[in-house]
Amino acid sequence: MYRTKTCGELRAANIGETVVLSGWVQKSRELGGMTFVDLRDRYGITQLVFDENKNAALCEEAKKLGREFVIQIEGKVVERSSKNPKMDTGDIEIIVSKLTVLNTSEIPPFTIQDDTDGGDDLRMKYRYLDLRRQCVRKNLELRHKMAFEVRSYLDKQGFLEVETPVLIGSTPEGARDFVVPSRMNPGQFYALPQSPQTLKQLLMVAGFDRYFQIVKCFRDEDLRADRQPEFTQIDCEMSFVEQEDIITLFEGMAKHLFKTIRNIDITEAFPRMTWHDAMKYYGSDKPDLRFDMKFVELMDVLKGYGFGVFDNAEYIGGICAKGAATYTRKQLDQLTEFVKRPQIGAKGMVYARVEADGNVKSSVDKFYSQDVLQKMKAAFNAEPGDLILILSGDDTMKTRKQLCELRLEVANQLGLRDKDKFACLWVIDFPMYEWSEEEGRLMAMHHPFTSPKPEDIPLLDTDPASVRANAYDMVINGVEVGGGSIRIHDSQLQAKIFKILGFTPEKAQEQFGFLMNAFKYGAPPHGGLAYGLDRWVSLFAGLDSIRDCIAFPKNNSGRDVMLDAPSAIDQKQLDELFLDIKEIEK
């Protein structure tokens, strides 16, 4: 036993006790014959005192301690003369009587504190030092707690956590699989699961009734934005349920997490919005509802007055930023530049301020009379001091997405995206399919096992693109934290869906035969959903990137720079796997 107490637990009540502590030297300073050392462990920081007058030799030893040395001390808890109310242990300090250096440390490549001087690359290379920083460790503590609470909730609801295999078969539908060559089956490959989708459906066929798993999933995608090649899913499935049952149960889980993790009581039901409305009013299937700025369509209001851009547009829509009429010309020009960036792709932006007297002053005044502008003002319910921003374009969906980006940017600028405020939402009634320009065919919007709404089934033959799915996403603050669907449990309907997705019966059989066969033996009605744990933790922790809640994340090239993985392997290993590496062009 290297300690009797941790560095986070001593209080005034412990004064007079002799204790043994172990930890890292956070910092030390000398002051009038005294050496003060801040000793740190996971639980906190405790101040140690070495007094030259009382024990010169020991104090001499203490002066040699460097940052991040690992030490063990014995000493007496005393009241601190200058208390530090910011520290849990700020009432006390330890007069050290015995010091043992358990390990030395080289000078760390960056400072181990919340506002470190270490850049991103350096911190990732020395992630084991980065993780010593309280702000990073807290995220992983939160992650542990969230996973624990998810399990507690689902266990109480009768769910069984079942581990599904990591080495499965490759299914080219969807994203790209990571594959694993099999030595015992030369020339053949396992694949790592993109999700346990088909396996959890087989568990429903097996009568498991309520399944969940917190499970690693894998996608070999080019890593843009905030993606990782391996990520963690809270994967759930239930039998004999309809959409309403799933929404009720998992809304309950979300509320349980809000309560236990953030101590937030959500008593009301989450609002629900159809996919159609989400696109129409927010230009996104995951609208951020922490603030309003709902889209207003202006085709009726602004067309036909000689402003060619609008007159020729397929879509004209805008948002009203409350109280933002103070935006300067420069700020508005910057917003225009923002929407014209290639990632967004708008051609321009029209703005209008509502002045104190109620008049509207716009960037297109030469085309519009005050009368028309007042009609526009009325459409937004705009008031003096408000700023109206308008985009238009010849593709409704594309323009809405541009307007969505503008809405989020303006909200950022106005401080409306408070990380401690949460707006939860169910988006429902997703379309079954979306058209893929790249593939030249309809693709499943969720996945090919999603069931159509019963009333839309006749449309599968006549107008598949209009068929709505029994699919739903949980959205919090503009982040899709989870999503799922009621599945198809009828092998004939499943075959039809595969056909619409362009599978020949042979191809469908080859890839999903095991599932379609299973459906022949009494598949129950079932459905489920999956949450992205990384995203959800990030949201609760108020992080900008999922990387900060992952112990050992990979960079944008899929590399673990600390482990230096991936790397070359021995020829012997390649030979055993019957593999050759092709000439790689530099």
Binders of a copy of itself among residues 240 to 279 (CB under 8 A) are 240-242, 244-245
Q: How far is CA 39 from CA 18, 64, 96, 461, in A?
A: 16, 15, 12, 71
Q: Which of residues 41-60 bind a copy of itself (CB under 8 A)?
A: 41-43
For a copy of itself, which is the closer residue by CB, 330 or 586?
Answer: 586
Strand partners, 231: 217
- Report if residue 22 touches a copy of itself, rule: CB under 8 A: yes
Among 32, 85, 187, 308, binds a copy of itself (CB under 8 A): 187
- Report if residue 216 touches a copy of itself, rule: CB under 8 A: yes
Nearest CA-CA partner of 14 in 74, 79, 88, 71? 79
For a copy of itself, which is the closer residue by CB, 233 or 477?
Answer: 233
Strand partners, 214: 234
Q: How far is the CB of 36 from a copy of itself (least distance, A)?
A: 19
Q: How far is the CB of 324 from a copy of itself (least distance, A)?
A: 43
Nearest CA-CA partner of 349 in 279, 311, 403, 404? 403
Q: How far is CA 53 from CA 18, 34, 36, 58, 526, in A?
A: 20, 8, 14, 10, 76
For a copy of itself, which is the closer residue by CB, 145 or 276?
Answer: 145
Among 115, 222, 265, 544, binds a copy of itself (CB under 8 A): 222
DSSP structure class, residue 525 = P
- Report if residue 487 touches a copy of itself, rule: CB under 8 A: no
* Cis amide bond preceding 271, omega within 30: no
- CA dist 251 and 257 (Å) reads 10
- Report if residue 168 touches a copy of itself, rule: CB under 8 A: yes
For a copy of itself, which is the closer residue by CB, 117 or 163?
Answer: 163
- CA dist 401 and 355 (Å) reads 29
- Report if residue 560 touches a copy of itself, rule: CB under 8 A: yes
Q: How far is the CB of 415 from a copy of itself (least distance, A)?
A: 34
For a copy of itself, which is the closer residue by CB, 14 or 491?
Answer: 491
Q: Which of residues 146-165 bind a copy of itself (CB under 8 A)?
A: 147-148, 151, 155, 160-165
Q: Are 65 and 34 in contact (CB under 8 A)?
A: no
For a copy of itself, which is the closer residue by CB, 172 or 458?
Answer: 172
Rounded (10°) CA dihedral 249, 252, 256, 259: 170
For a copy of itself, which is the closer residue by CB, 391 or 486?
Answer: 486
Q: Which of residues 564-583 bind a copy of itself (CB under 8 A)?
A: 564-570, 573, 576-582
- CA dist 145 and 154 (Å) reads 14
- Report if residue 117 touches a copy of itself, rule: CB under 8 A: no
Q: Which of residues 503-522 bind a copy of itself (CB under 8 A)?
A: 514, 518-522
Query: Which span sits near a copy of itself by CB under 8 A: 79-87, 115-123, 216-224, 309-317?
Result: 216-224
Six-digit token pair at 538? 């990030």
- Report if residue 98 touches a copy of itself, rule: CB under 8 A: no
Distance of CA 550 to the CA centre of its chain: 11
Count other Cβ atoms within 10 Å, centred on residue 390. Answer: 25
Strand partners, 180: 190
For a copy of itself, which is the closer residue by CB, 108 or 502?
Answer: 108
